[in-house]
Amino acid sequence: MIIMVIVARVLTLTFLIITIAVCAVAQPSGDNPGRLPAPTGGFAVGRVTLLCEDPSRLEPLDSNAASRRIMVDVWYPAERSVSTQATAAEYLNVAAFERGLGADGLRRQLGGAHDAIKTGRVTTHSVGQAPFASSLPLAPVLLFSPGGGMIRELYTSQMEDLASHGYVVAAMTHSYDGFLTVFPDGSSIAYDGKRWPKIPSVEGEANLNQLEWHTTDILAVLNYLSRLSGASSPQLPFAGRLDLTRVGAFGHSFGGVAAAHACQRDQRIKACLNQDGAVAMKPFYLDVHKWGMNQAFMLIERTPNREPLTDSDLSAMKMTRARAMDVIARLNADRDRALRSTGMGSYRVLLRQNVTTHMDFSDLQVLSAKDSTELDHRILVLALVRSYTLAFFDKYVRDMKAPLFDRSTPDQVLESVEKFSPARRPN
């Protein structure tokens, strides 16, 4: 699978970079049920798919110089009377993806999750066009950006859970970056490796073209929802129900860096969350005044590799051990400096590296589990991610109490939760 992954060891101890890689997912056994974890909230879940066009930007790779187009799935709280048994929304339009990628191409992208998705064993907990929950006058809005090369559908479990707790969640696929974007007319755009400039180096060079482009996608979707908020249409069950004074943004991998940058660019967003995304260990870039953002921020990441550097590692890096350790210390300091530079404070939630993977933030590890034991473990990891994501947005978007942060204790998946106090912006 093409994906922007956070590499915790580039022949080093803790250098982090974002790079294009092929992610091999374990092949499942025949008895894998391919089920998604059920949402934990009190609402049923509805879903609609929208096409967002941004006329302010021309699509560079479009031969007709058309406007930028972004496909968006919107999950929202629905009436509890809605039944998903016969009307569950489709997980992935397999036929359309096979037309765009070929059967073998789709298999390569989905890896071990392919058979469960292809045969329809993966069922969602969402209903298309379901009536909006009548007991909820307004719902806060969350915007989600997937990892580089990934598509929004493969994060359904996270989106459904948040919607079941009363959030409207808009997840997007970044055209030319997701491994395939399928439009309502049946046309599609595949990933294009020539879309962006050179991948950043371990020294922290920013691929700013891509970062700015994806961040502008996030803000374009927010603007689009703002325009739709007053519309009246049976195709928009959430129309008139969006609380645009309570907006959050989050993302996985490179999408997490883009979500953080969206907070930096737009004060309408009250809180941003980065799921396992960093460039040179930083979850976002500080501005020229060494300031991060005015809003609250949370980083959920896997612990870095703590194995000692070997002589061959140092030789490949062309560094002395002293120089390598100096660089590692600087990168750690840069990360902590960023987390200490937010106006509402920040959290760093660390997951144990030896029992988690970068793809545990998506559905893929659950859907590719080899047996029931691995399935239970992958569901446990995803449940922890969902719990901290919900608690963070409840606290900083809804202004609710979040007792999870007060009682966090290390366990088989969670290593630690670190809190950074609110900072004062430099003059």
Closest C-alpha to 382, from 365, 369, 395: 365
| 342 DSSP assignment | B
Length of the chain equals 427
Q: Measured between alpha carbons, how far is residue 381 from residues 316, 354, 412 in Å?
A: 34, 12, 9
SS3 4: strand
The label of the residue with tokens 């007709």 reads 64
Q: What is the pLDDT of residue 8?
A: 35
Question: What's the pLDDT at 196?
Answer: 74
- Quick one: which H or E segment has residue 307? none
Distance of CA 256 to the CA centre of its chain: 6
Q: Side chain identity at 48, as an amino acid letter?
A: V
Per-residue model confidence as pLDDT tens digits over 34-76 = 679 999 999 999 999 999 999 999 988 888 889 999 999 999 9
Which element (helix H / strand E) includes 180? strand 180-182
- Calpha distance 59→97 (Å, rounded): 22
Query: What is the per-residue pLDDT for 24?
Result: 37
What pLDDT is stored for residue 23 in this prediction?
42
pTM of the model: 0.91
Q: Using CA atoms, how far apart are residues 266 and 426, in angstroms rounded to an integer? A: 19
Please list the alpha-helical segments (H only) found in 126-253.
156-164, 208-228
In the predicted model, residues of the chain with pLDDT beneath 50 are 1-32
Handedness of CA 28, 37, 88, 154 (dihedral sign): negative
Backbone angles phi, psi at 386, to 5 degrees: -65, -40
3.40.50.1820, 3.90.1150.10, 1.20.120.80, 1.10.10.10: CATH of 2-420: 3.40.50.1820
Residue carrying the six token digits 């941003």: 272
* pLDDT value of residue 311: 83
C-alpha dist (Å) from residue 119 to 93, 110, 367? 12, 13, 12
Q: How far apart are CA 85 and CA 78, in angstroms?
A: 15
Are 281 and 332 contacting, i.e. CB atoms less than 8 angstroms apart? yes
Helices assigned H by DSSP within 45-180:
94-101, 103-110, 114-118, 156-164
Quote the tokens at residue 145: 């950006």
Task: Kindly give the pairing relationship between strand 2-7 and strand 17-22.
Answer: antiparallel
CB 50 within 8 A of CB 237: no
What single letter denotes the amino acid at residue 284?
F
Q: Report residue 38 as tokens.
A: 């059920």
Query: What pLDDT shows up at residue 20?
Result: 36
DSSP string over 218-251: HHHHHHHHHHHTT---TT-TTTT-EEEEEEEEEE
Tokens of residue 82, six digits: 């809605």
Q: For residue 38, what is the enclosing H or E element? A: none
- What are the residue boundaries of the structural domains of the chain, listed by start? 2-420
**What's the token pair of residue 123?**
């069922």
CA distance 249 to 23: 25
Strand, coil or helix: what is 330? helix
> Residue 327 belongs to what H/E stretch?
helix 321-339
Q: How many other C-beta atoms lie within 10 A of the C-beta of residue 421?
A: 9
The Cα 189–Cα 101 span in angstroms is 10
At a CB cut-off of 8 Å and minimum separation 6, what does 160 contact?
36, 39, 45, 75, 124, 125, 126
Q: Do residues 279 and 204 make contact, with C-beta atoms less than 8 angstroms apart?
A: yes
Q: What is the pLDDT of residue 6?
A: 30
**171 C-beta neighbours (distance < 10 Å), count:** 28
